[in-house]
Amino acid sequence: MRLLSCVTNAHVIVSGYHQADIPHRLSLAGSDPVRLGAEHQLTLDVGEHYRVREASDGWEVEVVAYFYAIARTNEDVIVYHWHPYGRSSIRHPHLHVRADLQIGERWLGKVHLPTGFVAIEDIVTLAIRELRAEPLREDWEALIADRAPT
């Protein structure tokens, strides 16, 4: 995936490019977080489930679940989840933040903060603009703009 090449040289592995009943999976090679070229020693972990389908104007890929994690020193700092199927009762897109703050009986870090859909281009932009990851491509902004909904 070209968007991830904006922040990492890691290989992206996909399980397929064809229509299937079960969603395909995208992950980083080795399924290990990759180091972002950021001043704060951050890592990025990415996983997506997607479907390939035929549309009126060709083929398209639809993300149907995701996991994006930004960590420091092997501890997640920001984690975006969307898992609309499976064992969890939380099926909407949400965010977890590392926070050692207790609210009543709940720790804030365990709370599912609602977000709406988060695209991989949002994560790449967050890493570069807000977390100061060094972009590995000069054309990263153009790649993001090409993927933005119209």
Average pLDDT of span 23-27: 95
Average pLDDT of span 54-73: 92
DSSP state of 49: E
User: Over 90: is that where the pLDDT of 141 sits?
Assistant: yes
For 81-107, how does the pLDDT look when each residue is reduced to its tens digit (9 = 90+)? 999 988 888 899 999 998 878 788 888
For residue 35, give Cα distances in angstroms to 20, 60, 91. Answer: 33, 30, 29
User: Over 50: is that where the pLDDT of 63 sits?
Assistant: yes
For residue 26, the SS3 value is: strand
- Sign of the Cα torsion 94, 99, 102, 105 reads positive
pTM > 0.95: yes or no: no
Domain spans, the chain:
4-144
Residue 146: pLDDT band (50, 70, 90) is confident
Longest dimension (CA), the chain: 52
For 117-132, how does the pLDDT look when each residue is reduced to its tens digit (9 = 90+)? 999 999 999 999 999 9
